[in-house]
Protein backbone atom coordinates (compact mmCIF):
# COMPACT_ATOMS: atom_id res chain seq x y z
CA UNK A 1 0.00 0.00 0.00
CA UNK A 2 2.87 2.34 0.79
CA UNK A 3 4.39 1.84 -2.66
CA UNK A 4 1.07 2.59 -4.35
CA UNK A 5 0.36 5.63 -2.19
CA UNK A 6 3.93 6.92 -2.38
CA UNK A 7 3.99 6.80 -6.15
CA UNK A 8 0.68 8.59 -6.30
CA UNK A 9 1.81 11.36 -3.95
CA UNK A 10 4.99 11.81 -5.99
CA UNK A 11 2.96 12.10 -9.19
CA UNK A 12 0.63 14.65 -7.58
CA UNK A 13 3.61 16.70 -6.39
CA UNK A 14 5.07 16.74 -9.89
CA UNK A 15 1.71 17.83 -11.29
CA UNK A 16 1.45 20.66 -8.76
CA UNK A 17 4.99 21.82 -9.55
CA UNK A 18 4.10 21.92 -13.21
CA UNK A 19 1.26 24.33 -12.60
CA UNK A 20 3.41 26.62 -10.40
CA UNK A 21 6.56 26.87 -12.54
CA UNK A 22 7.38 29.66 -15.01
CA UNK A 23 8.35 28.26 -18.36
CA UNK A 24 11.84 29.46 -19.38
CA UNK A 25 13.61 27.72 -22.21
CA UNK A 26 12.92 24.62 -24.23
CA UNK A 27 14.61 22.23 -21.76
CA UNK A 28 12.36 23.45 -18.93
CA UNK A 29 9.29 23.01 -21.11
CA UNK A 30 10.33 19.49 -22.03
CA UNK A 31 10.94 18.64 -18.38
CA UNK A 32 7.51 19.95 -17.43
CA UNK A 33 5.80 18.07 -20.25
CA UNK A 34 7.41 14.83 -19.02
CA UNK A 35 6.28 15.56 -15.46
CA UNK A 36 2.75 16.25 -16.60
CA UNK A 37 2.70 13.02 -18.64
CA UNK A 38 3.75 11.09 -15.53
CA UNK A 39 1.02 12.83 -13.54
CA UNK A 40 -1.68 11.96 -16.08
CA UNK A 41 -0.39 8.40 -16.61
CA UNK A 42 0.38 7.48 -13.01
CA UNK A 43 1.09 3.76 -12.83
CA UNK A 44 0.56 2.13 -9.44
CA UNK A 45 3.76 0.31 -8.54
CA UNK A 46 1.95 -2.48 -6.72
CA UNK A 47 -0.12 -3.30 -9.79
CA UNK A 48 2.91 -3.40 -12.09
CA UNK A 49 5.36 -5.27 -9.87
CA UNK A 50 2.91 -7.73 -8.34
CA UNK A 51 0.64 -8.72 -11.24
CA UNK A 52 0.84 -12.41 -10.45
CA UNK A 53 1.59 -12.26 -6.74
CA UNK A 54 -1.08 -13.85 -4.61
CA UNK A 55 -2.78 -11.14 -2.56
CA UNK A 56 -4.02 -12.00 0.90
CA UNK A 57 -7.65 -11.42 1.73
CA UNK A 58 -6.58 -8.54 3.94
CA UNK A 59 -4.77 -6.87 1.03
CA UNK A 60 -7.76 -7.38 -1.25
CA UNK A 61 -10.08 -5.97 1.39
CA UNK A 62 -7.86 -2.88 1.66
CA UNK A 63 -8.08 -2.34 -2.10
CA UNK A 64 -11.84 -3.00 -2.26
CA UNK A 65 -12.66 -0.68 0.65
CA UNK A 66 -10.73 2.33 -0.64
CA UNK A 67 -12.72 5.55 -1.02
CA UNK A 68 -14.76 5.08 -4.19
CA UNK A 69 -13.06 7.75 -6.31
CA UNK A 70 -9.59 6.63 -5.25
CA UNK A 71 -10.47 3.06 -6.23
CA UNK A 72 -11.78 4.11 -9.64
CA UNK A 73 -8.73 6.31 -10.26
CA UNK A 74 -6.33 3.47 -9.48
CA UNK A 75 -8.30 0.96 -11.56
CA UNK A 76 -8.35 3.28 -14.58
CA UNK A 77 -4.58 3.79 -14.39
CA UNK A 78 -3.99 0.03 -14.23
CA UNK A 79 -6.36 -0.41 -17.16
CA UNK A 80 -4.49 2.11 -19.29
CA UNK A 81 -1.18 0.44 -18.53
CA UNK A 82 -2.33 -2.90 -19.97
CA UNK A 83 -5.17 -2.19 -22.44
CA UNK A 84 -6.28 0.27 -25.09
CA UNK A 85 -8.69 2.45 -23.11
CA UNK A 86 -10.89 3.37 -26.07
CA UNK A 87 -11.73 -0.19 -27.10
CA UNK A 88 -14.35 -2.67 -25.92
CA UNK A 89 -14.59 -6.32 -26.92
CA UNK A 90 -18.04 -7.32 -28.19
CA UNK A 91 -19.04 -10.92 -27.44
CA UNK A 92 -22.14 -12.90 -28.34
CA UNK A 93 -23.66 -15.67 -26.20
CA UNK A 94 -26.01 -18.32 -27.59
CA UNK A 95 -27.85 -21.07 -25.73
CA UNK A 96 -27.34 -24.16 -27.89
CA UNK A 97 -29.14 -26.50 -25.46
CA UNK A 98 -31.65 -24.99 -23.06
CA UNK A 99 -33.34 -26.13 -19.83
CA UNK A 100 -33.54 -29.39 -17.93
CA UNK A 101 -30.23 -28.94 -16.11
CA UNK A 102 -29.87 -31.34 -13.13
CA UNK A 103 -27.94 -28.76 -11.09
CA UNK A 104 -29.82 -26.82 -8.40
CA UNK A 105 -28.13 -23.41 -8.80
CA UNK A 106 -30.43 -21.08 -6.89
CA UNK A 107 -30.14 -18.33 -9.52
CA UNK A 108 -30.72 -20.36 -12.67
CA UNK A 109 -34.03 -20.52 -14.59
CA UNK A 110 -32.71 -23.53 -16.54
CA UNK A 111 -32.54 -25.79 -13.49
CA UNK A 112 -34.89 -28.80 -13.59
CA UNK A 113 -35.41 -28.32 -9.85
CA UNK A 114 -37.58 -25.21 -10.32
CA UNK A 115 -40.71 -24.24 -12.19
CA UNK A 116 -39.55 -21.17 -14.08
CA UNK A 117 -41.36 -21.37 -17.38
CA UNK A 118 -38.16 -22.02 -19.33
CA UNK A 119 -38.86 -24.91 -21.65
CA UNK A 120 -36.41 -27.60 -22.66
CA UNK A 121 -34.74 -27.23 -26.02
CA UNK A 122 -32.61 -29.97 -27.52
CA UNK A 123 -29.18 -29.29 -28.94
CA UNK A 124 -29.42 -26.85 -31.85
CA UNK A 125 -28.55 -27.81 -35.40
CA UNK A 126 -25.05 -26.88 -36.47
CA UNK A 127 -26.29 -24.86 -39.44
CA UNK A 128 -28.43 -22.70 -37.13
CA UNK A 129 -25.48 -22.08 -34.82
CA UNK A 130 -23.29 -21.17 -37.78
CA UNK A 131 -25.91 -18.70 -39.00
CA UNK A 132 -26.06 -17.06 -35.55
CA UNK A 133 -22.26 -16.82 -35.44
CA UNK A 134 -22.14 -15.23 -38.88
CA UNK A 135 -24.69 -12.63 -37.80
CA UNK A 136 -22.72 -11.93 -34.61
CA UNK A 137 -19.58 -11.34 -36.64
CA UNK A 138 -21.41 -9.01 -39.00
CA UNK A 139 -22.58 -7.01 -35.96
CA UNK A 140 -19.04 -6.55 -34.66
CA UNK A 141 -18.55 -9.46 -32.25
CA UNK A 142 -15.07 -10.98 -32.06
CA UNK A 143 -15.99 -13.75 -29.60
CA UNK A 144 -18.85 -16.23 -29.93
CA UNK A 145 -19.80 -18.25 -26.86
CA UNK A 146 -22.04 -21.33 -26.90
CA UNK A 147 -23.78 -22.44 -23.71
CA UNK A 148 -25.47 -25.76 -22.95
CA UNK A 149 -27.46 -26.59 -19.82
CA UNK A 150 -25.49 -29.67 -18.81
CA UNK A 151 -23.91 -30.60 -15.50
CA UNK A 152 -21.21 -32.61 -17.24
CA UNK A 153 -20.28 -32.56 -20.91
CA UNK A 154 -21.79 -35.78 -22.34
CA UNK A 155 -19.85 -38.25 -24.43
CA UNK A 156 -21.12 -39.45 -27.79
CA UNK A 157 -23.13 -37.81 -30.54
CA UNK A 158 -23.98 -34.57 -28.71
CA UNK A 159 -20.36 -33.84 -27.88
CA UNK A 160 -19.32 -34.63 -31.45
CA UNK A 161 -21.92 -32.12 -32.63
CA UNK A 162 -20.48 -29.48 -30.30
CA UNK A 163 -17.01 -30.18 -31.70
CA UNK A 164 -18.40 -29.60 -35.20
CA UNK A 165 -19.91 -26.30 -34.04
CA UNK A 166 -16.56 -25.21 -32.63
CA UNK A 167 -14.83 -26.02 -35.92
CA UNK A 168 -17.38 -24.05 -37.93
CA UNK A 169 -17.25 -20.96 -35.71
CA UNK A 170 -13.46 -21.09 -35.61
CA UNK A 171 -13.53 -21.13 -39.40
CA UNK A 172 -15.21 -17.71 -39.34
CA UNK A 173 -12.18 -16.18 -37.66
CA UNK A 174 -13.99 -15.63 -34.35
CA UNK A 175 -12.74 -16.46 -30.89
CA UNK A 176 -14.74 -19.54 -29.86
CA UNK A 177 -15.91 -20.00 -26.28
CA UNK A 178 -18.07 -22.71 -24.70
CA UNK A 179 -19.77 -23.13 -21.34
CA UNK A 180 -20.99 -26.70 -21.08
CA UNK A 181 -20.51 -27.68 -17.44
CA UNK A 182 -17.77 -29.88 -16.07
CA UNK A 183 -15.51 -31.67 -18.49
CA UNK A 184 -12.70 -34.19 -18.42
CA UNK A 185 -9.11 -33.58 -19.48
CA UNK A 186 -9.72 -35.70 -22.60
CA UNK A 187 -12.74 -33.60 -23.58
CA UNK A 188 -10.77 -30.42 -23.01
CA UNK A 189 -8.06 -31.66 -25.39
CA UNK A 190 -10.67 -32.53 -28.01
CA UNK A 191 -12.19 -29.06 -27.77
CA UNK A 192 -8.76 -27.48 -28.10
CA UNK A 193 -8.02 -29.57 -31.20
CA UNK A 194 -11.35 -28.49 -32.70
CA UNK A 195 -10.33 -24.82 -32.36
CA UNK A 196 -11.80 -23.74 -29.02
CA UNK A 197 -10.29 -20.48 -27.76
CA UNK A 198 -11.80 -20.22 -24.29
CA UNK A 199 -14.05 -22.03 -21.84
CA UNK A 200 -16.32 -20.35 -19.32
CA UNK A 201 -16.58 -21.93 -15.89
CA UNK A 202 -17.56 -19.44 -13.19
CA UNK A 203 -16.83 -19.81 -9.49
CA UNK A 204 -20.09 -17.88 -8.86
CA UNK A 205 -19.33 -16.68 -5.32
CA UNK A 206 -17.04 -17.12 -2.31
CA UNK A 207 -16.27 -20.61 -1.01
CA UNK A 208 -18.09 -19.71 2.21
CA UNK A 209 -21.40 -18.84 0.51
CA UNK A 210 -21.17 -21.40 -2.28
CA UNK A 211 -22.98 -24.19 -0.42
CA UNK A 212 -26.00 -21.94 0.09
CA UNK A 213 -26.30 -21.33 -3.65
CA UNK A 214 -25.48 -24.77 -5.11
CA UNK A 215 -25.57 -28.20 -3.49
CA UNK A 216 -25.19 -30.47 -6.53
CA UNK A 217 -21.57 -29.52 -7.21
CA UNK A 218 -18.73 -28.63 -4.87
CA UNK A 219 -16.22 -25.80 -5.30
CA UNK A 220 -13.33 -28.20 -5.86
CA UNK A 221 -15.08 -29.67 -8.92
CA UNK A 222 -15.12 -26.25 -10.53
CA UNK A 223 -11.42 -25.81 -9.82
CA UNK A 224 -10.72 -29.27 -11.27
CA UNK A 225 -12.43 -28.33 -14.53
CA UNK A 226 -10.34 -25.15 -14.71
CA UNK A 227 -7.19 -27.25 -14.21
CA UNK A 228 -8.26 -29.53 -17.09
CA UNK A 229 -8.66 -26.48 -19.33
CA UNK A 230 -5.21 -25.18 -18.45
CA UNK A 231 -3.67 -28.58 -19.14
CA UNK A 232 -5.25 -28.55 -22.62
CA UNK A 233 -4.03 -25.03 -23.40
CA UNK A 234 -7.50 -23.46 -23.44
CA UNK A 235 -7.84 -19.96 -22.02
CA UNK A 236 -10.10 -19.55 -19.01
CA UNK A 237 -13.17 -17.35 -18.64
CA UNK A 238 -14.06 -17.32 -14.95
CA UNK A 239 -15.98 -14.85 -12.82
CA UNK A 240 -18.96 -14.62 -10.52
CA UNK A 241 -22.44 -13.30 -9.78
CA UNK A 242 -23.33 -10.38 -7.52
CA UNK A 243 -26.69 -9.79 -5.85
CA UNK A 244 -27.32 -13.28 -4.48
CA UNK A 245 -27.54 -12.07 -0.90
CA UNK A 246 -23.79 -12.17 -0.40
CA UNK A 247 -21.94 -9.97 2.06
CA UNK A 248 -19.10 -7.63 1.24
CA UNK A 249 -16.77 -10.26 2.67
CA UNK A 250 -18.17 -12.81 0.20
CA UNK A 251 -17.40 -10.48 -2.70
CA UNK A 252 -13.88 -10.02 -1.39
CA UNK A 253 -13.62 -13.81 -1.01
CA UNK A 254 -14.69 -14.34 -4.63
CA UNK A 255 -12.08 -11.83 -5.82
CA UNK A 256 -9.46 -13.60 -3.72
CA UNK A 257 -10.28 -16.94 -5.36
CA UNK A 258 -10.24 -15.50 -8.88
CA UNK A 259 -6.99 -13.60 -8.43
CA UNK A 260 -5.27 -16.59 -6.81
CA UNK A 261 -5.73 -18.67 -9.98
CA UNK A 262 -2.34 -18.98 -11.66
CA UNK A 263 -2.31 -17.75 -14.32
CA UNK A 264 -5.17 -15.31 -13.90
CA UNK A 265 -8.30 -16.01 -15.97
CA UNK A 266 -7.91 -14.38 -19.37
CA UNK A 267 -11.54 -13.24 -19.08
CA UNK A 268 -13.36 -12.27 -15.88
CA UNK A 269 -17.13 -11.87 -16.33
CA UNK A 270 -18.86 -9.98 -13.52
CA UNK A 271 -22.60 -10.69 -13.51
CA UNK A 272 -25.46 -8.96 -11.73
CA UNK A 273 -28.15 -11.44 -10.70
CA UNK A 274 -31.03 -11.58 -13.17
CA UNK A 275 -33.85 -12.63 -10.89
CA UNK A 276 -36.02 -15.36 -12.39
CA UNK A 277 -39.48 -16.29 -11.19
CA UNK A 278 -39.60 -19.75 -9.66
CA UNK A 279 -35.98 -19.79 -8.50
CA UNK A 280 -35.01 -19.49 -4.80
CA UNK A 281 -33.46 -16.08 -5.53
CA UNK A 282 -36.49 -14.66 -7.33
CA UNK A 283 -37.08 -12.17 -4.51
CA UNK A 284 -33.47 -11.24 -3.82
CA UNK A 285 -32.91 -7.58 -2.93
CA UNK A 286 -31.80 -5.15 -5.62
CA UNK A 287 -28.04 -4.78 -5.95
CA UNK A 288 -26.61 -1.28 -5.63
CA UNK A 289 -24.92 -0.67 -9.02
CA UNK A 290 -21.98 0.95 -7.23
CA UNK A 291 -21.21 -2.48 -5.75
CA UNK A 292 -20.92 -3.77 -9.32
CA UNK A 293 -18.57 -0.89 -10.16
CA UNK A 294 -16.49 -1.40 -7.02
CA UNK A 295 -16.12 -5.12 -7.73
CA UNK A 296 -15.09 -4.50 -11.34
CA UNK A 297 -12.52 -1.90 -10.25
CA UNK A 298 -11.00 -4.28 -7.72
CA UNK A 299 -10.93 -7.09 -10.29
CA UNK A 300 -9.10 -4.79 -12.71
CA UNK A 301 -6.43 -3.94 -10.11
CA UNK A 302 -5.98 -7.57 -9.04
CA UNK A 303 -5.95 -9.00 -12.57
CA UNK A 304 -4.47 -6.22 -14.72
CA UNK A 305 -4.08 -8.12 -17.99
CA UNK A 306 -7.45 -9.92 -17.94
CA UNK A 307 -10.45 -8.88 -19.99
CA UNK A 308 -13.05 -7.77 -17.43
CA UNK A 309 -16.52 -8.30 -18.84
CA UNK A 310 -19.79 -6.64 -17.82
CA UNK A 311 -21.89 -9.75 -18.25
CA UNK A 312 -25.51 -10.33 -17.16
CA UNK A 313 -27.43 -7.45 -15.63
CA UNK A 314 -26.74 -4.55 -18.00
CA UNK A 315 -30.42 -4.55 -18.97
CA UNK A 316 -31.24 -3.29 -15.47
CA UNK A 317 -28.37 -0.81 -15.18
CA UNK A 318 -28.54 2.84 -16.16
CA UNK A 319 -26.26 4.27 -18.84
CA UNK A 320 -24.45 6.11 -16.07
CA UNK A 321 -23.82 2.91 -14.10
CA UNK A 322 -22.49 1.11 -17.18
CA UNK A 323 -20.27 4.11 -17.91
CA UNK A 324 -18.79 3.86 -14.42
CA UNK A 325 -18.10 0.17 -15.05
CA UNK A 326 -16.08 1.11 -18.14
CA UNK A 327 -14.27 3.78 -16.13
CA UNK A 328 -13.50 1.12 -13.50
CA UNK A 329 -11.70 -0.98 -16.09
CA UNK A 330 -14.33 -3.14 -17.79
CA UNK A 331 -13.46 -3.64 -21.44
CA UNK A 332 -15.84 -6.32 -22.70
CA UNK A 333 -19.60 -6.78 -22.97
CA UNK A 334 -22.09 -9.29 -24.30
CA UNK A 335 -24.13 -7.95 -27.19
CA UNK A 336 -27.42 -9.15 -28.63
CA UNK A 337 -30.86 -8.88 -27.05
CA UNK A 338 -30.59 -12.20 -25.18
CA UNK A 339 -28.12 -13.94 -22.86
CA UNK A 340 -29.03 -17.63 -22.78
CA UNK A 341 -32.57 -17.10 -21.40
CA UNK A 342 -32.46 -13.56 -19.99
CA UNK A 343 -32.81 -10.17 -21.75
CA UNK A 344 -29.88 -7.95 -22.71
CA UNK A 345 -29.71 -4.43 -24.22
CA UNK A 346 -30.30 -4.36 -27.96
CA UNK A 347 -27.67 -3.63 -30.58
CA UNK A 348 -28.93 -0.07 -31.16
CA UNK A 349 -28.69 0.77 -27.44
CA UNK A 350 -25.14 -0.53 -27.26
CA UNK A 351 -24.11 1.30 -30.42
CA UNK A 352 -25.54 4.56 -29.07
CA UNK A 353 -23.79 4.19 -25.72
CA UNK A 354 -20.41 3.33 -27.21
CA UNK A 355 -20.70 6.23 -29.63
CA UNK A 356 -21.62 8.67 -26.88
CA UNK A 357 -18.66 7.50 -24.77
CA UNK A 358 -16.22 7.64 -27.67
CA UNK A 359 -15.56 3.91 -27.44
CA UNK A 360 -15.14 1.58 -30.39
CA UNK A 361 -15.48 -2.15 -30.88
CA UNK A 362 -12.25 -4.08 -30.56
CA UNK A 363 -11.05 -5.97 -33.62
CA UNK A 364 -9.58 -9.44 -33.27
CA UNK A 365 -5.79 -9.40 -33.04
Q: Which residues are catalytic?
A: 101, 105, 108, 145, 177, 237, 309
Supply the DSSP string of 86-142, one letter for each residue.
TEEEEEEEEEEEBS-BS---TT-TTBTTS--SPPPBPPPPHHHHHHHHHHHHHTT-S
**Contacts of the segment 48-54: beta carbons below 8 A, 24+ positions apart:** 48/81, 48/304, 49/3, 51/304, 51/305, 52/262, 52/263, 52/264, 54/259, 54/260, 54/262
Q: What angle do CA 299, 13, 24 make, to 5 degrees?
A: 130
SS3 label, residue 68: helix
The rounded distance, in Å, linking the Cα atoms of 291 and 108 is 21
Q: Which positions ≥6 away from 36 have C-beta within 8 Å?
A: 14, 15, 18
The rounded distance, in Å, linking the Cα atoms of 231 and 309 is 24
The number of angstroms, rounded, from the C-alpha of 325 to the middle of its chain's C-alpha atoms is 11
Q: Is 43 within 8 Å of 77 (Cβ atoms)?
A: yes
The rounded distance, in Å, linking the Cα atoms of 86 and 357 is 9
Q: Is 333 within 8 Å of 323 (Cβ atoms)?
A: no
State the DSSP code for 338.
Answer: E
Q: Is 339 within 8 Å of 93 (Cβ atoms)?
A: yes
Q: Which positions ≥6 away from 288 have C-beta within 8 Å?
A: none
Look at the chain and count its residues.
365
The rounded distance, in Å, linking the Cα atoms of 41 and 272 is 31
The rounded distance, in Å, linking the Cα atoms of 299 and 328 is 9
Supply the DSSP string of 272-307, one letter for each residue.
E----TTSTTTTPPPPPHHHHHHHHHHHHHHSTTSE
Amino acid sequence: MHGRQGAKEQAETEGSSLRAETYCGSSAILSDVVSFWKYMHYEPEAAILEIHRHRTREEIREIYQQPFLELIFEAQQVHRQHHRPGEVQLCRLLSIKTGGCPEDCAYCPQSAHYQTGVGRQDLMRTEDVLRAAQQAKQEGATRFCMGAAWRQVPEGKEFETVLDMVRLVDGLGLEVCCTLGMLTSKQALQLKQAGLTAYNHNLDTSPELYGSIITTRVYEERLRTIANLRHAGITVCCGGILGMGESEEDRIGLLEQLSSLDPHPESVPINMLMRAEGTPLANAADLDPLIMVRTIATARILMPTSMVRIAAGRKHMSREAVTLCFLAGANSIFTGDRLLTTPNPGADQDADLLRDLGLKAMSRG
